[in-house]
Amino acid sequence: MNIIITGASKGIGKAIAEQFAAAGNSLFLCARNEKQLHATADELKLKFPQSTINIKPVDMRKKEAVQSFADWCLSFGVPEIVVNNAGQFLPGSVHSEPDGILEQMIETNLYSAYHLSRALLPVMIKIKRGHIFNICSIASIAAYANGGSYSISKFALLGFSKNLREELKPLNIKVTTVLPGAVYTDSWSGSSIDPKRILESDDVAKMIFTASQLSPQACVEEIIMRPQIGDL
């Protein structure tokens, strides 16, 4: 199967790529950091020689770059699975965060998924097959201190995902919203947080892979995951 994963060079995106590569799929990965993306691709090719790893450095904040990435992916065929994972977290409060943070969060966390989905959906609709995963956050359903524009953008992504699910039901395309709590990624490295206190990237990846393996008539609409002893 052809699997598209954005923001795939590290963290949750990389863990998702590992799950699908292990199953021998053809992966189409993108990320902003070209060096890190190449390193991830080399690692995946060595570890999972049965899979095909295709990469393209992309800044998903830019509509034209997203369209170019979509066209590149479609040149290989129609994707069966699309994982809108590209995102960024910048802490802050609405009343005091620097000017422009909201725009940056919306462009990165919402528009990236919106524009890529719109670019790919015409061909997916034509064959009436596919599965889109949108990586939201617990911040999509619960406000918290220092969440600021990040939380606003994730609330918006959840709204997009819910609307997309309703629109695509009769077209036989699945949409799954993934809402993880704190996951130990680079955002937490160097902090005082015990890695055992929060989720692992692989926890999220395993749930996504499992949801993708169900029968055609079954759709997991939402995956909500939290650390065992609760949110931070």
**How far is residue 155's CA from residue 140's CA, in Å, rounded to a whole number?**
4
Cβ atoms 36, 13 nearer than 8 A: no
Main-chain phi, psi angles of 130, to 5 degrees: 145, 165
The strand ranges marked E within the chain are 2-6, 26-31, 52-57, 81-84, 131-135, 174-180, 222-225
179 to 26, 79, 96: CA distances (angstroms): 26, 23, 27
Place of tokens 């053809």: 26
Catalytic residue among 111, 114, 144, 150: 150
Catalytic residue check, 150: yes
Active site residues per annotation: 150
